[in-house]
Structures are given as C-alpha cells and as structure tokens.
Amino acid sequence: MLNKSIGYRLSIYISLAVIGVFLTFIVITFFFNLGVLKNNIENKATVLASEVLMKGEKQLVATREVTSNISEQLLYYAQNDDVKLFLENIMNRYPFFNAIIVNIDSTISGINYRNYYAFNDKDSIDFRKGNRSFVLCNVERKVFDEKIATGVAGWTKSFTCPRNNNHIISYYSPITIKDKNDELIIVGSVISELSLLELTDFVNTIEFEEFNDAEYIAIIDRDGRYLIHPNKEYILNKNLYSLPEAEGKFDSLLIYNMLNRGLSGTSVVYPDYVDNKKSWVYFTPIEETGWTLTFIIPFDELFVPLYVMILRMLFFAVLGILIIFFIVTYISGNLIKPLSSVTTELKKFSSRTGHISDTNDEVKLVSESLDYLQNWYNKFKVEKEEVEKKDSKRKQDLEEASNVQMSLINTDFSEFEKRNDIDLFALFKPAQIVSGDLYDFIFLDSENLFITIGDVSGKGVSAAFFMSVAQTLLKGNSRLRDPSKIVRATNHRLYSVNQHQFFLTLFCGILNLKTGVLTYCNAAHTPTIIVSPDGELNDLSKTHGMPLGLYPNRKFGQSSITLKEGSSIVLFSDGVTEQLNEKKRYFGINKFNRLLQKSLNLEPKKLAEKIEKRISKFKGEMSQTDDITIMVLKFKHKKRPD
C-alpha cells in the first residue's frame, strides 16, 4: 500500500476511518434505541391502557353518577307514584344496566310502595314493586346487606348469581334526608347492577391498530380475581395469587402492592391464554373502583418494531458505507470539483421537504433553503397567533353570553319607589359567569303583580340558555293571569325544546294589591316564606306539580293565601340554604328563618343585602357552591282606590 498513490491511500484511510466510526455509531445507536424503544412501547401501552380506562370508566362513572342521582330524586318520584316511569326511562337510556334495586325505610310516610326492582330482561324491562325486598338470588342479598351496613356509597363485591350464572358488580348509594338539625340520615338504598360479562364484551370490542390482535386486556379486583378476561371462564374463577408456575414466578408482595396500593408498573409473565409465550404486562389502577387493569402483549409482537428498525439500520448502514467509499474516492481523485457532491445532497434534502430547486448554483441553493426555512417559521408563527385569537374569542363569547343573560334579568325597581302600598327588591348572584337561576316581576295591571323565581338543574352555558328560554316563556305566558295555567303552558313549551334533559323548579304567584290575596303555584321549588309583622313565619311548602321540562301536558294546581298588612314575601333559590362553610356544614333553613325573624323592620333591599352578607360571612374561604337568588316583597297595606 506504501507504493500506492497518495490519493488511493487517502481514500482507503478515510474510508476505513469513516466505516469504523459508522459501525461504532450503529452499535451505540442500536443499544440506545433499544432502551428508547422499550420506553416508547411502554408509553404507547400506557396511552392505550388510558384509552381503555377512559372507555371502561365511562360506564363505571355513569353507573355511579346515575345511581347517586336516583337516590337523590327517588323519594320525590315515590311520593308521586312515578317510580316505574322514572326507572324505565333510566334503564332504556343506559342499556348496560343489568338491574336497579330500591328499598325505602318504613320511617318515610306518604308512599304506597317501599321496594322496587327493575331488571333488563333482553328486549324489555321487568319492573316490580311492593313492600318486601326483591333479589334474584340469595348471594345477591348477602353482598348487598354487607355494603348497605357500611352506610357509605361505593362498589359492592363482585359475585356470581347461581340462578342465571351471571357475574355481577354493583354500586350502592344511600337515600338520605335532612333531619330537624340539618343532619343527613339514611332512609333507604339504591343499588345498580352491571354485568361483568357485558363489560367484558364491551372491552373486547376495543381495537388497537398498533399491534396485531395478539394483545389482550384483563381487569383484576383487590382479591386477585379476574373480573374481565377474553376467556369468560376465568371471570371470578381464576385468581392471580394461585397461578400455576408455568405462567411465571410471581412475588406475592408485588401482587399485593399492585392490587391494594394502586401501583403502576411492568412485569414479565407467561399466560396460558397465549400458549405460555413470554409476554410483557403493564398494570395500572382504576381509580373509580380500586381494581387493576392489565395490558398484556407477547414479546414477539412487542419487539417487531425493533427488529424492523435493526434491518433498516443494517440496510442503510451498508448502503451508506458504499456511498461514502465512492464519494471519498471520487473527491480524492477530483479535488477540483469539491462542491458537486454538496450540491447533490442539498437537492436531495430539498426534494424530501417538498422545496425543489432547479438551480445548479450552490450558493443560491443554500440561500433558497434558508429562505424556505424562514418562510416555514413565519407560517408557523401566523398559525400560532390565529389559535391565540380563537381562544380569546371564545372567552369573549362567554362574557357576551353572560351580558345577554343579565340583560334579561329585571333590575329596575324604580316603580316601587313611587308606591307606598308595596316595596320589592331582588338580588341575583351567579356562582359562575353564567347562571341557571331566574326571577321576574311584572305589573299585569294597576291591581295585580306577577312574581316568579326558578332554578334550572345543571350548570354552564346550556343551563343558562335554558333559563333564558324559560324566563322569556314566563314573561309571555303571564298574560294568562292564572298561575297554574302559566306554569302548564310554560312546561309544555320547555319540554318541546329540552334537548339536554334539564328541568326547572319554579314558584310563581299573582298578588292582588287591592285584596292582599296571593294566588300561587309551586312546581317543586324551594318553599316561599311569608313573614308576618309579629314575626310569625309561614312556609308555602305545598307542591302543585313536578319540575318543568320533564313531561308534556302536565296539570298543575294552585293555592291562595291572604296577606296581612305589613307582611313580607321572601322567595329564594336553594343556593341560599345549601351554601357550605369551611366545616362542610350547610347554612340551612333554621339559620335562615332566625335571620328573617330578627329582621322584621328592614325594607326589602336592606333585608336582601343582609341575607347575602350573612351567607358570605358564613362560607368564609369556601367558594360559592350554587347560584344565589333572593326576592323580597313587602305588602305595606292594601291598595286604596285612586
């Protein structure tokens, strides 16, 4: 080689050096990418597991929330003998429910039946009611009794009913009411059942495009039992603590920590479901139930991307070495043309990015490439600014929605400053930017004043728009001059536009200023309070019908009461009495009544402001839990003839 030309030797030495560096780089890159790939695959599996959690927990969370909602509303429907329609609507809306069991204590009066059972029997709902508890099998009764004895809402143990060989998991929610001390007491129970077989079928429908159907998902409870598994024979029959040695040697402490301490991590197993192939498992807790979700992938599927990457690296490495060798040889033999290969590589780069140039001028090519990068950056900057503008516009739209809503609220009390027979003031304080409360007052003529207050279920923009529609309907229907007819007409229209299953509790009345007679209709709203001049409080607690917007063509009743001169009418939403303080205690109706008795001589405006200040002081650092609306009307004396 010493007798060879310098150009030849230079090309050999440079080529050997480049090949050595290249091979070293390949080895280092291989081991580096091996670790990176493992982390990426673990992260990808974590993301997939999260997707499964989101889809699976959607049914679990829906079960919990719906069961809690049933327990809150059940007594009302039981007292109106509408439980069958109520439960059947829920079963039809949530077809993954297996059954709903309701039991009400004998301490609750005014209901015909204390026990209800709704069962999803394929294409129909099997509904039963009576005065004895309903269960499908004895093991079901035992599991339910154990959970009910705790008095705490939550998931029961899973069990198998021998009668139909169905595997069940249930959620329990107590039925509670407030006693005279505003303390919650349990007066019954609501239990919603989920079929583990149905849940298994749902989970098995989830597809993962990243793998080739070799992976599978299993869910395990804290006792180590399989709740969900592709092989349904494993459900509640196979236990993680007693797996055969062929499936792997497991540390019992690791299993305990995984199932009972909510740990996430990975391990290696040999499950018989995939013929005892070496597999990688990722486990993570399900916060809703305390179960553990496992995601199992065989190693030969897991490392397919790595094998493909290695083959590609080897291919491009050999190709790169050959290219470098010929380039070095060519440059060594043609030193007068050093920029030709640079130009070629720049053109290759430009073609890959979609920016193709026909120039052969190397300097111009570099300049155009820089211009391309600058233009790309400017485009990115413009797109970023557009996104920021859209976010600002959304916030502005929400504030405008609040302004539109506030424009519908009647805050002009100047008419009452001119009168000496009555005075009225209202206070409206939303918990968020927009509100679900409403109030209004309208003089129907010189002798009749229409007043109303209401509360829409739910929160947010949709609830606020529903409130605005209701207020507009009430204002238009006030021409009917009859509270029951006004409420009925408003309910019928609200039902026809109710797309989000909202409902409205409402109190409305018409006060005859000449006679002092208040004719009113209460559709499940917080009772209005009449404060007499001598301090006597009279709750208008009679309910004349269900909340508005749930059912069409409902009839509503009405009542009348004659006010004494000097009496006050206090209307308010439940945000007043249900405000929590830092000790998680409610403001309550008792505190509210005492406050009214101590404020007999205050004018409506001062009384409403005093109530608002007392609530603000009571809650301390706690946030406002609900919208607060207060309307105070003082009937000073009967209207005298003009």
Same domain, 486 and 620: yes
Same domain, 567 and 498: yes
Structural domain span for residue 377: 340-385
CATH number at residue 272: 3.30.450.20
Asked if residue 134 lies in contact with residue 114, where contact means CB atoms within 8 angstroms, the answer is: no
pLDDT over 90 percentage in the chain: 35
* Averaged pLDDT, 438-454: 94
Same domain, 213 and 346: no
User: pLDDT per residue over 482-524, tens digit each?
Assistant: 999 999 999 999 998 887 788 999 999 999 999 999 999 999 9
User: pLDDT per residue over 627-637, tens digit each?
Assistant: 999 999 999 98
HSE of 610, CA atoms in CB hemisphere, 13 A = 16
Q: Is the confidence at residue 429, as pLDDT, over 50?
A: yes
- Edge-to-edge order in the sheet of strand 422-429: 422-429, 628-635, 567-572, 528-531, 537-540
Q: Is the confidence at residue 336, as pLDDT, over 50?
A: no
Same domain, 499 and 619: yes
User: pLDDT per residue over 456-491, tens digit each?
Assistant: 987 777 788 888 899 999 999 999 999 999 999 999
Residue type, 357: S
With 0.85 as the threshold, say if the pTM is over it: no
Same domain, 376 and 468: no
Is 587 within a domain? yes
- In this structure, the number of other CB atoms found within 10 A of the CB of residue 319 comes to 10
Same domain, 454 and 576: yes
Same domain, 624 and 480: yes
CATH number at residue 450: 3.60.40.10
Binned at pLDDT 50, 70 and 90, residue 638 comes out as confident
Instruction: Please name the residues in contact with 118: beta carbons below 8 A apart, sequence gap of 6 or more.
Output: 87, 88, 91, 99, 100, 125, 126, 127, 128
Is 585 within a domain? yes
Same domain, 602 and 510: yes
Same domain, 461 and 552: yes
Asked if residue 470 lies in contact with residue 490, where contact means CB atoms within 8 angstroms, the answer is: yes
Is 404 within a domain? no
What is the number of structural domains in the chain?
3
Whole-number mean pLDDT of the chain?
A: 82
